[in-house]
Amino acid sequence: MFTGIIEKIARVASIRPVSGGARLAIDLGELAEGTRLGDSIAVNGACLTVGSLDGTTASFDVVAETLRRTNLGKLAPGQSVNLERALRLGDRLGGHFVQGHADGVGAIAGRTRSGGEHLLRVSVDPGLADGMIEKGSVAIDGVSLTIAALSHDSLTVALVPHTLRNTTLDAKPDGSPVNIEIDMIGKYVSKLLGRRRDGGGLTEEFLKEHGF
């Protein structure tokens, strides 16, 4: 579990195809201190497991499903990524609950800068937009943000100066792919309402299946 509060902008050391996916190496810098094999780290919002450590460089095995669902397969050596270590019990939740399971990939569609305001518009598949609401939460490349405006195929978020300085979002040109994770609560509500619309009702079996 993550919060969407980015801890570090890091650099890709290498990425190479392997059987069933890719091997991604990232220089963690100071985040390497205390990091152990098996730890979870969100890379551009995608939860990955540390497979090996060499100094400050961590390597991750990225499976084919993750490559299909995220922008990680488009990374290149030297490219910047957002990093966040997994939430620890007792940590402050400054953003929102982020699972590190991207629902899909959107694209930077444009920016509006006026005075101190910076608005970022991201195009998304209509199926993703259906799971969002205005003023709701969304994770874009792992960054916890609030939706300022929403259409059937795009969302707009406001980026504060801290976010511009401490994430990769300010440096991404139009057309850049970004990972999108819909708010977890919204996904459950959508699933529940879908069952009711289909006439299935909220059966005891359904509630048990989803942990209620």
Give the per-residue pLDDT at 208: 57
Give the per-residue pLDDT at 102: 94
The residues of the chain scoring below 70 in pLDDT are: 89-95, 194-212
Give the per-residue pLDDT at 189: 74
Q: Residue 70 gets which letter from DSSP?
A: S
Q: Could you tell me the fold of the domain covering 104-189?
A: Elongation Factor Tu (Ef-tu); domain 3 (2.40.30)
pLDDT digits (tens, 9 = 90+) for 47-61: 999 999 999 999 999
Q: How far is CA 34 from the centre of its chain?
A: 23
Q: Which amino acid belongs to residue 55?
A: G
The reply to whether domains 8-85 and 104-189 share a CATH topology is yes
Domain residue ranges of the chain, discontinuous segments joined by +: 8-85, 104-189
Question: In 65-176, at which residue ranges do the beta strands (DSSP E only) sit?
Answer: 80-85, 104-114, 117-123, 137-140, 143-150, 154-158
**Sign (positive or negative) of CA dihedral 38, 31, 172, 155:** positive
Q: Which residues pair with 149 in a beta bridge?
A: 156
pTM of the model: 0.86
Give the per-residue pLDDT at 48: 98
Give the per-residue pLDDT at 55: 96
Which option is the CATH number for 8-85: 2.50.20.10, 3.40.50.1220, 2.40.30.20, 2.40.37.10? 2.40.30.20
Please tell me whether residue 179 adopts helix, strand or coil conformation.
Answer: strand
